[in-house]
């Protein structure tokens, strides 16, 4: 039956089209039926990439799930069509839809753990997918599976391993292998490389490019990484609050974005050229599903909003080579140039005041790390005796000065996070830490008791994933007060309350946030809470472990501005662990590149980024996607 299905309606390789017309998706909740995707239309041609971009909560992932007819409980498509080579998928009985999933349209989900079966080896799962969709069985299917595991750069032996033995990035690659091994014509890839190191990301994207050339793979790339999009996609579809607001060829989009939201997004991206000025953050956040008012959904954040934007919803107007949902593109209107939006998004005077404050380059070091080595114990036997140590960090030495940012870059497993955790005293029990970390001359590793508690207030950490670090049983106000009470007991209740309210405002939390629970917030808002909590005790040194990698571009800009502002005001030193070279270029004064637990190159940020000397630094930087702005004759009309 499956083979028959495949034979029917399948276009010649590379000539098909997946068309979405006026797609409306709703989710039924206790509060009523909420529109999550509104009148969305786009077309995916084989061999081409359409990037679906926009902030969290805009409806990107739901759109992909709707195309696959895999909406979560309560979700339903209430209008529109999804045509695969002319056949409406939404009208097919489930029995006819099932074989199309995987074989004609594959999907890579954001969270690999949910897509891999924990009781089957990785190899068995890839073989199962191949045998279900391709005329290959037994040894031939196994050989094909091994080939795919190699193509996604998984180590030898991955075939026989269970998912729980793999790292997050390896699981993601296993899932990519499983989906690609069935040779789909279209791939819906939801943040496919977010969990991967840049060098592996570059390999996976090259693999996808190869499949586009060889097999005409049509790719719907859902991502928040605009640099990745600029170098890869032919079309960009920008979503905002459930609606497409701009659909344009990638060159035109990046050269001259038309919608004010698109213009603001690109202005909010950090890079080295903007390092002397605050980023143009977009105020506010995407309206929630129940907060969507009539008219333009971007109006509360738009620098060009006017009464006519209040209602009705602006039409999605076709222009020359692109479509834009904005009254400024109505016939006769004069659309804004990106420069107009840049001017309207100028930072506040307080933010502007940051510019020009010289960092304290020549000051006495705040922190001196000398010959830091961190070894994790290897245990054996019934008594779990320690028989040796695996060195995760070896002989690291560097200085950090007040008001300066040292970026630690390198791939997963290079020892960046271990270094940060060791400095903030989080590895005392789990690892053997040797060397010294002198904070204002006092060796943190030698402290005990009250002295250690005091030192902990001086050096705080913000993690990439705030989910695990926020106590779910405390309201936000209590979370922020908790650290204050423990580490700054001299503050009275009123001072604590004022400080907590000021912190919430500083990190952009809504007014009612303090009385809410952590689970009520989005990932980005939880990260703001985590940053506020770390800052509450007025540390001198902040270890930031990928603090903005889970955030949307506009929120990232707000957080980076906030971190810069605090650094300038308070002379904070940041040890900034990141893989985002744009952030490094924007924020860092010095860069240390780590590989295999050692620093292989260290120097002023400009020098390391512009003229890397070590071969590893060169290959790392070469793999980083850059925002490609190509000249085009097709500006906004």
Among 234, 158, 171, 1, CA closest to 95: 1
- Give me the least distance between CB of 513 and ligand SF4, in Å please: 26
Number of residues that this document lists for the chain: 637
- Segment interacting with ligand SF4, rule: CB under 6 A, options 17-25, 45-53, 302-310, 440-448: 302-310
Classify 33 as helix, strand or coil: strand
- Segment interacting with ligand SF4, rule: CB under 6 A, options 292-300, 358-366, 377-385, 598-606: 292-300
- Give me the least distance between CB of 554 and ligand SF4, in Å please: 14
- Segment interacting with ligand SF4, rule: CB under 6 A, options 8-16, 172-180, 297-305, 532-540: 297-305
Q: Does 305 bind ligand SF4 (CB under 6 A)?
A: yes
- Give me the least distance between CB of 287 and ligand SF4, in Å please: 12
* Candidate residues 112, 257, 314, 403; the one interacting with ligand SF4 per rule CB under 6 A: 314
For residue 263, how many other CB atoms are within 10 A of its CB?
A: 26
- β-sheet bridge partners, residue 88: 83
- Give me the least distance between CB of 259 and ligand SF4, in Å please: 6
- The encoded tokens of residue 452 equal 């250690």
Alpha-carbon distances of 360 from 364, 400, 567, rounded to whole Å: 9, 11, 10
- Segment interacting with ligand SF4, rule: CB under 6 A, options 294-302, 483-491, 535-543, 619-627: 294-302
Q: Does 466 bind ligand SF4 (CB under 6 A)?
A: no
For residue 162, how many other CB atoms are within 10 A of its CB?
A: 15
* Candidate residues 302, 372, 541, 591; the one interacting with ligand SF4 per rule CB under 6 A: 302
Number of residues engaging ligand SF4 in binding (CB under 6 A) = 12
* Candidate residues 148, 186, 254, 298; the one interacting with ligand SF4 per rule CB under 6 A: 298
* Candidate residues 10, 304, 389, 614; the one interacting with ligand SF4 per rule CB under 6 A: 304
Q: Does 267 bind ligand SF4 (CB under 6 A)?
A: no
Rounded CA-CA distance 471/71 in Å is: 31
Does the N-terminal peptide bond of residue 312 adopt cis geometry, omega within 30 degrees of 0?
yes
Q: Are 403 and 571 a contacting pair, CB within 8 Å?
A: yes
- β-sheet bridge partners, residue 396: 372
Rounded CA-CA distance 418/226 in Å is: 29
Question: Which of 57, 625 has the CB closer to ligand SF4?
Answer: 57
Alpha-carbon distances of 97 from 109, 130, 180, rounded to whole Å: 19, 18, 19
User: What value, to the nearest 5°, has the Cα angle with vertex 127 and ends 122 and 132?
Assistant: 130
Rounded CA-CA distance 384/382 in Å is: 5
- Give me the least distance between CB of 305 and ligand SF4, in Å please: 4
**What track of x and - describes contact with ligand SF4 for positions 321 through 360 (by CB under 6 A)?**
-----xxx--------------------------------
**What track of x and - describes contact with ligand SF4 for positions 156 through 195 (by CB under 6 A)?**
----------------------------------------
Question: Which of 123, 336 has the CB closer to ligand SF4?
Answer: 336
For residue 388, how many other CB atoms are within 10 A of its CB?
A: 11
Residues sharing a CB contact under 8 Å with residue 511, sequence separation 6 or more, in sequence order: none
* Candidate residues 173, 224, 299, 528; the one interacting with ligand SF4 per rule CB under 6 A: 299
* Candidate residues 222, 309, 470, 594; the one interacting with ligand SF4 per rule CB under 6 A: 309
Q: Does 58 bind ligand SF4 (CB under 6 A)?
A: no
Sheet holding 243-249, edge to edge: 105-108, 186-190, 218-222, 49-53, 235-240, 243-249, 323-325, 316-318
- The encoded tokens of residue 605 equal 């940020």
Q: Which of residues 242-261 bind ligand SF4 (CB under 6 A)?
A: 260
- Give me the least distance between CB of 300 and ligand SF4, in Å please: 8
Residue 270 DSSP class: -
Q: Binding residues for ligand SF4, per CB under 6 A?
A: 260, 296, 298-299, 302, 304-305, 309, 314, 326-328
């Amino acid at each position: 039956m499956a083979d028959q299905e495949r034979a029917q309606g399948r276009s010649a390789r590379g000539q098909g089209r997946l068309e979405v017309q006026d797609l409306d998706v709703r989710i039924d909740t206790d509060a009523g039926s909420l529109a999550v995707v509104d009148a969305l239309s786009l077309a995916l041609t084989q061999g081409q990439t359409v990037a679906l971009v926009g902030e969290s909560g805009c409806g990107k992932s739901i759109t992909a799930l709707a195309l696959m007819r895999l909406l979560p409980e309560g979700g339903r498509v209430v209008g529109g069509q999804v045509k695969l080579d002319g056949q409406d998928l939404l009208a097919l009985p489930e029995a006819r839809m099932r074989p199309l999933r995987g074989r004609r349209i594959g999907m890579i989900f954001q969270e690999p753990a949910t897509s891999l079966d924990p009781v089957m080896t990785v190899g068995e799962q890839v073989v199962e997918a191949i045998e279900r969709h391709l005329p290959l069985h037994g040894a031939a299917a196994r050989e094909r599976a091994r080939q795919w595991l190699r193509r996604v750069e998984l180590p030898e032996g991955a075939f026989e391993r269970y998912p729980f033995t793999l790292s997050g990035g390896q699981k993601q690659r296993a899932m990519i292998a499983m989906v690609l091994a069935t040779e789909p014509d279209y791939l819906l890839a939801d943040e496919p490389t977010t969990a991967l190191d840049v060098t592996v990301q570059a390999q996976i994207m090259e693999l996808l490019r190869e499949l586009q050339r060889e097999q005409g793979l049509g790719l719907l790339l859902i991502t928040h990484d605009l640099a990745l999009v600029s170098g890869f996609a032919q079309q960009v579809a920008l979503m905002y609050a459930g609606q497409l607001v701009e659909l344009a060829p990638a060159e035109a989009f990046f050269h001259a974005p038309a919608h004010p939201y698109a213009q603001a997004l690109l202005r909010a991206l950090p890079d080295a050229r903007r390092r002397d000025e605050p980023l143009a953050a977009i105020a506010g956040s995407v309206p929630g599903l129940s907060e969507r008012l009539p008219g333009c959904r971007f109006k509360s954040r738009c620098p060009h909003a006017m009464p006519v934007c209040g209602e009705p919803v602006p039409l999605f107007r076709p222009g020359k080579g692109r479509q834009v949902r904005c009254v400024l593109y109505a016939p006769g209107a004069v659309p804004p140039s990106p420069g107009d939006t840049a001017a309207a998004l100028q930072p506040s005077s307080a933010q502007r005041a940051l510019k020009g404050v010289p960092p304290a380059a020549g000051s006495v070091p705040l922190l001196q790390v000398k010959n830091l080595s961190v070894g994790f114990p290897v245990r054996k036997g019934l008594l779990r005796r320690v028989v040796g140590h695996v060195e995760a960090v070896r002989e690291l030495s560097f200085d950090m000065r007040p008001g300066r940012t040292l970026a630690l870059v390198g791939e997963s497993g290079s020892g960046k996070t271990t270094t940060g955790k060791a400095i903030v005293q989080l590895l005392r029990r789990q690892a053997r830490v040797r060397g010294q970390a002198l904070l204002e001359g006092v060796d943190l590793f030698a402290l005990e008791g009250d002295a250690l508690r005091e030192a902990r207030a001086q050096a705080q950490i913000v993690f990439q994933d705030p989910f695990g670090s926020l106590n779910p049983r405390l309201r936000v106000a209590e979370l922020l007060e908790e650290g204050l009470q423990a580490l700054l007991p001299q503050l009275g209740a009123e001072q604590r309350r004022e400080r907590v309210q000021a912190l919430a405002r500083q990190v952009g939390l809504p007014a009612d946030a303090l009385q809410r629970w952590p689970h009520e917030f989005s990932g980005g808002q939880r990260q703001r809470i985590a940053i506020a909590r770390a800052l509450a005790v007025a540390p001198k040194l902040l270890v930031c472990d990928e603090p903005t990698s889970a955030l949307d571009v506009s929120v990232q800009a707000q957080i980076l501005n906030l971190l810069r502002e605090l650094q300038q005001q308070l002379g904070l030193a940041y040890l900034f662990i990141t893989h985002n070279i744009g952030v490094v270029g924007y924020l860092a004064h010095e860069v240390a590149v780590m590989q295999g637990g050692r620093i292989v190159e260290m120097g002023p940020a400009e020098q390391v980024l512009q003229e890397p000397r070590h071969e590893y630094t060169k290959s790392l930087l070469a793999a980083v996607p850059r925002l490609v702005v190509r000249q085009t004759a097709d500006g906004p009309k």
